[in-house]
Amino acid sequence: MTIPDATDAASQLTEDFRWGEVPAVRDASVTERAALADPSLGGIAGFKGPFRGNGLNTIFRPQDFAVSPTKLPKPAHGPNDNILELNLTEESLSFSDPLGSIPNRGFVQGDAFLNGIPYVQKVKDIADPAHPVDIHFEPGVWLSVPKTQVPAEDPSVARMASIPHGATIEAQGRSFTVPGGPHIDPVDITPFPIGDPSGRLVDRFPSQDVADEGTFRIPQDLSSFSAAGTITKEILANPNLVIDERQKKQHITSTTVIIISTNPASPLFGGGTDNIAFLLGDKDAAKPNADAVQMDAIFWVETVSERITLPTAYRPGLPLVVPGSTAAGKPVPSFAIHSEKPVAAGTPIDVTYTQIQYTQTVLLNFNGLSWPHVSVATLVPEHPVRATV
């Protein structure tokens, strides 16, 4: 299946579309009500336009070794009911224009008016750059929900997403803004008994040992990745290092933090996941193939400041695009220089841009355990950011 370009797909989602209320009286002689301002986007206001970037994905895939074993280059040892797949990723995440005023009709309280931003996410595995593989496609909508009386809730955000494996999510949460960069806690991919996150397995799977080249893992041999610093012992123990080490090398002036879950903390409630029959295994999900039971994620929308230097002289009217600094690693944005006067080569320019970082954990239940499926990424604007001198 060829996955459509995420930028084009998202830009078409709201083309010529603005959410409106159906009028009770369709009579041109009736004076129309004054147009109301669109509801606030709150914490999701930074989701504008197309982004691209890189990250890491980890997933323990279920395997029935007796029926359909995964072919591996080397003989493998350890439990054969799962395969740990590790992906270096290339990602595009494109946001469409806000939908406007979305009326939710109330019965117990008055109507609530939401706002939303459609998006399309596409992820490739680029562990072998010569042979990239599409591994994830997700259309969805971010929602900004106003304060309500029934239920008694402060403003919140929600993410609705559809994944072609046969799962959908409805995750809710809060947002807030802090000065400077984010605080990013560690995340652990070690499985645990279903319903008991505190009981993580003491003896980790052999596939979690970076140096072991003969386990049920894709890729089996991680020596080249370890040498390059892309999949190391430390990263496999805490994938959030991939994004944390980058942001610590940057000058981030402010961060909007968005924390969401399909099982949100009180006083929020609602949301959840839905799975097709194959994933559940049976009506009670007692023998699941891979039941996606929960998703938790944190998005950091960061304002990054840095200084670039003009490599050549700039003349008004002539396009000049300058790449950003690689000091913190890739991805890097680019900047379209604008000035009403000529600017000499070597001139330093202070620029800012929006960067999105996220960590996401989906719990997959099979064979008596919950298996954390962790994805992290750093994303920067796909198109050149305007830089005025």
Asked if the model's pLDDT at residue 308 lies above 70, the reply is: yes
> Which segments of the chain are extended strands (E)?
49-62, 82-95, 102-104, 112-125, 133-145, 156-163, 167-179, 192-193, 217-218, 251-261, 272-275, 291-309, 321-323, 334-338, 348-366, 369-381, 385-388
Asked if the model's pLDDT at residue 295 lies above 60, the reply is: yes
Residues belonging to the chain:
389
pLDDT at residue number 24: 76
Quote the percentage of the chain above a pLDDT of 90: 86
For residue 379, give the 3-state DSSP assignment. Answer: strand
The ranges assigned to domains in the chain are 6-13+38-305+364-369
pLDDT at residue number 7: 54
Tokens of 20: 């409106």
Q: Each residue of 43-84: pLDDT tens digit?
A: 999 999 999 999 999 999 999 998 989 999 999 999 999 999
Measured CA to CA, the distance from residue 377 to residue 299 in angstroms comes to 10
pLDDT at residue number 20: 80
Q: Judging by beta carbons within 10 Å of its beta carbon (0-12, 13-18, 19+), is residue 5 exposed, middle or buried? A: middle
Q: Each residue of 119-139: pLDDT tens digit?
A: 999 999 999 999 999 999 999
Q: Each residue of 6-37: pLDDT tens digit?
A: 555 555 677 778 788 787 777 655 545 545 68
Beta-bridge mates of residue 308? 349
Helical residues (DSSP H) of the chain, grouped into ranges: 6-13, 223-228, 233-237, 241-247, 277-280
Q: What is the pTM of this model?
A: 0.93
Q: Each residue of 316-358: pLDDT tens digit?
A: 988 999 999 999 999 999 999 999 999 999 999 999 999 999 9
For 49, 55, 242, 266, 342, the CA distances from 263, given in Å and listed in that order, are 29, 25, 26, 9, 56
